Amino acid sequence: MNLNLISVFVEIVDSRSLSAAARKLGMTRSNISHQLKLLERETGAQLLRRSTRSLELTQAGQILYDYGQRMIEDLSTTRSSIDSLGQTLRGHVRISVPTGFGRMYVSTMLLEFARAHPGITLNVTFNNRIQDLIAAEVDVALKITTTPPLDCVARYVCSIKWQLFASADYLQKHGPIESPSDLEQHALVASPYPGHRVTLKLAHNQDKGDTQTVTLQTALQSDDFPLLADAVCQGMGIGLLPAYVSHAPAHRAMQPILLNYRVDNLGGNLYVLTLPNRYPSPSTRTLIDYLRDKIVPLSEEWI
């Protein structure tokens, strides 16, 4: 089959219209339509069902589209590998990182990486809820989760533990917190929960029989961990946050409390997610190795 025609077909599907594909490829719409007809003639099958408003893949079209994507990826990887022989790494990598962890740690790492590898162009997004790398148009995703998506290759990086925090000024003003029951007199700063009261189950790290349940009123809820950490540092309440937050330079005024207890049913692991690919590009491999080499030593300092 004609590889150029297959590339045009993949672009038509990705662009979701012949006109959009024509604009992206610098061709006329009639030329695009003609090439699609040639490909359908060559395969002997209808590949798309066209209406005035949409394009829909036929079964044959879906098979050819999946093949075309793999072909383009393999060609791009091969080209990058050849181009990088004895030269500076070159390529384009689209990466998604969690908002809090990304802004506190990964953003600086990515800037360092970009300076060290000027031939690699990074496209960075901050997203906590990424599930489908194809739909999100992402090559690499850092994700904190207990169950990584099954359709991705998940490389374990480190565990993420959660802890309760308070500022020294807050503890001086409101008194020490020596047992889980003391928490019920305080407001909570945490990720969004249903309602304005949050029930936490705290389990002792050594004594399995010591499990206590407490309910706290929330003072502030947000998915943005830097905002929550700022609130804790300013004395708005007790913070329920990932342990790494207190190690960020801007939030070292926070201190962990109730170190002998853990909050049950919270936690997870940090993974690097990629799509299944036999030949990830040298740029992608280099970025993944770089991030793991940077993050793993840092994680050893976290509680």
Residue 124's SS3 state is strand
Cβ-Cβ contacts under 8 Å for 303 (sequence gap 6 or more): 161, 163, 243, 246, 256, 259
Q: What are phi and psi of 11, to 5 degrees?
A: -65, -35
pTM: 0.67
Structure tokens at 299: 């994680």
The CATH topology of domain 162-263 is D-Maltodextrin-Binding Protein; domain 2 (3.40.190)
The CATH topology of domain 91-160+268-299 is D-Maltodextrin-Binding Protein; domain 2 (3.40.190)
* Domain extents in the chain: 3-83, 91-160+268-299, 162-263
**3-83 in CATH: which number?**
1.10.10.10
Tens-digit pLDDT string for the chain (303 aa):
777 888 888 888 888 888 888 888 888 888 888 888 988 888 888 888 876 667 888 898 898 888 888 888 777 777 666 665 545 678 899 999 998 899 989 999 999 999 999 989 999 999 888 878 888 889 999 999 888 888 888 899 999 888 999 998 999 898 889 889 889 889 999 988 877 788 888 888 888 888 889 999 899 999 888 899 999 999 999 999 998 888 877 777 788 998 888 888 777 899 999 988 756 788 898 999 999 999 999 888 775
Domains 3-83 and 91-160+268-299 share a fold: no
Structure tokens at 101: 């962890």
| 251 close to 225: Cβ distance less than 8 angstroms | no
Q: Which of 150, 138, 142 has its CA nearest to residue 110? A: 142
